[in-house]
Structure 1
Amino acid sequence: MKRTAFRPTALILLPLLTGSAALFATAAPARAAELCGNVDPVVVGSYLVQNNPWNAPGDPKDQCVSTTGDGFEVTKAEGEQPTTGGPKGYPSIYNGCHYDKCSPGTSLPVRIDSISSAPTTASFTYPAVGAYNAAYDIWLDPEPRKTGQHAVEIMVWANKVGSMQPIGAPAGTTTLAGHTWEVWQGTNGTSKVISYVAPSALTTVGFDVKEFIGDACVRGFGEPSWYLTSVQAGFEPWQGGAGLKIDSFASKVDVR
């Protein structure tokens, strides 16, 4: 997953469900905040933004994010990790519960087979240099747990710049949300991980999370009786990362 430079030349939009753009309520503007190091997430509209430098190569405060009205920007990203291992962290914005931190008013965790739809959108800005991905993290668990490491991690890679690869091994391709994805399957030692990788950079994505969950369950990554615990969008930087930005994010889960 390593390239020395990248600048997207085109916008690729994944189709949402009909009328889904109107599904998200407009949130009140949030006051900008800067998060450096291992600090609690902060509220941005209806969501939480986390800095999450879980694998920092040096001082965790070498990674910082600044919140915006609809997302966040990575403002500091010192140090490097080899692209053969894990990233420096996962700065991200999310709906749901992650390590006992729940976004305001979230309905998650919720049982998968009770979900009628779970539309989400995200818009990304990429710097010209570095080694990183832009990815959704969608977490599933057999229990409605709000804390700890959950049993299954579904990743949706909108972009990768560098020589890094998803966890596990290739498992073919599939077409979801109107786009073809490379599928990778594996485990990180604690959770089973399935990744859907876009073959070219996407700067805007929109899809129904339930569609990816359904495919993952068919492949043995979860069960309909399990729970969706969070929907997260962010970046995994290995080298550099300053300038990575979520321009906008929205996530909603509708229950029957």
Structure 2
Amino acid sequence: MAPRTTLRLARAVVAPALALGATIALASAPAQAAVWSSCDQWGSTTLNGYTLYNDIWGSGAGSQCIWANSGTSWGVWANHPDTGGIKSYPNSKKYVGRTIAGLSSLTSTYNVTVPSSGAYNTSYDIWDTGYAYETMLWVNYNGAVGALGTSQGSLTLNGTTWTVYKGNNGANDVFSFLRSSDSTSGTVDILPILRWIANTKGWMPNTKTIGDVQFGFEITSSSGGLDFVTNNLTVSSS
């Protein structure tokens, strides 16, 4: 998987009928007026130190609109067909700018409302500044979705068990951690996971600088239109 930012522009397919989602998305937004919304394929804005992306990048995508009350309270309405392949990764990101070795803490809290149908995962996507290493943390997932690469077994850190996958998409290494039980709210201690990858497994150098910590919904299908809401999100580092 390439970064859900500019690196994906070159190989993305323009999603059809984006305007269709605009009217429906307004009805799906919260009661208070959103401070920002977009149905553009690459719609983005920065609010409260977080950058939001609509990020419709996959082949055969349908309609999708994103809205935000802030950088940490936002959601999307998406209507993607029941076909294979990831269609989009609407997300909110915060930039860290510290090496793994130089970090003393990197944590995040999340609270989401996700549909019971469709195919998707709710995930963190964490990148080094050179986009050579991608770490995904799936906190919940539904439908026909799966991680890239081969299983490396399970890992338990701070009371949470993850199934670990390691792969490469041709552009970068990908480390995926799938939570053993679905969660719609909680706290993730990210730094011990990065240290395990770098120091315990030696899969990437601990001198790598962590850039973007993204959180969002990797959507494969949401036929008929589904709502995905981030009620609250925080990313903190030191």
TM-fit CA distance, 1:208: 2.2
| Other-structure match for 1:55 | 58
The percent identity for this pair of structures is 27
Q: CA deviation at 1:239?
A: 0.7
**Structure 1 ranges of 4+ moved more than 3 A:** none
Is 2:187 the counterpart of 1:206? yes
Give the alignment partner of residue 77 of structure 1, picking from 54, 79, 99: 79
Partner in structure 2 of residue 232 of structure 1: 214
Report how far residue 200 of structure 1 moved: 1.8
Letter of the 2:89 partner, please give it. Y
User: After superposition, what is the alpha-carbon deviation per residue over 1:47-76, rounded to whole angstroms, capped at 9, x for unaligned?
Assistant: 1111111114146xx121111233211123
Post-superposition shift, 1:79? Answer: 2.8
Equivalence for 1:94: 93
Give distance in 1, aligned partners of 2:36 and 2:166.
36
| SS of structure 2 residue aligned to 1:114 | coil
Question: 1:220 is matched with which residue?
Answer: 202
Between the aligned partners of 1:177 and 1:65, the Cα distance in structure 2 is 33
| Contact kept? 1:137, 1:232, Cα under 8 Å | yes
Structure 2 residue 231 is matched with structure 1 residue 247:
yes
Q: Is the helix fraction higher in 1 or 2?
A: 2
Secondary structure (helix, strand or coil) at the match of 1:113 reads coil
1:130-149 mapped onto 2 (5 Å cutoff): 130-141=118-129, 145=130
Which amino acid letter does the alignment assign opposite residue 250 of structure 1?
Answer: T
Q: CA deviation at 1:161?
A: 0.3
Whole-angstrom distance in 1 between the partners of 2:82 and 2:56: 12
Map of 2:176 onto structure 1: 195
User: CA separation in 2, counterparts of 1:131 and 1:152?
Assistant: 25
Question: Which structure shows the higher strand fraction?
Answer: 2
CA–CA distance in structure 2, aligned partners of residues 31 and 230 of structure 1:
24
Q: Which runs of 5+ in 2 are unaligned?
A: 1-32
TM-score, with structure 2 as normaliser: 0.79
1:34 equivalent in alignment to 2:37: yes
Displacement, 1:31? 5.4
Aligned pairs, number: 203
Aligned to 1:125: 113
In 2, Cα distance between the equivalents of 1:123 and 1:160?
14
How far apart, in 1, do the equivalents of 2:77 and 2:167 lie? Answer: 32
C-alpha RMSD of the superposition: 2.0
TM-score by length of 1: 0.74
Secondary structure of 1:210's partner?
A: helix
Q: Secondary structure at 1:252's aligned position in 2?
A: strand
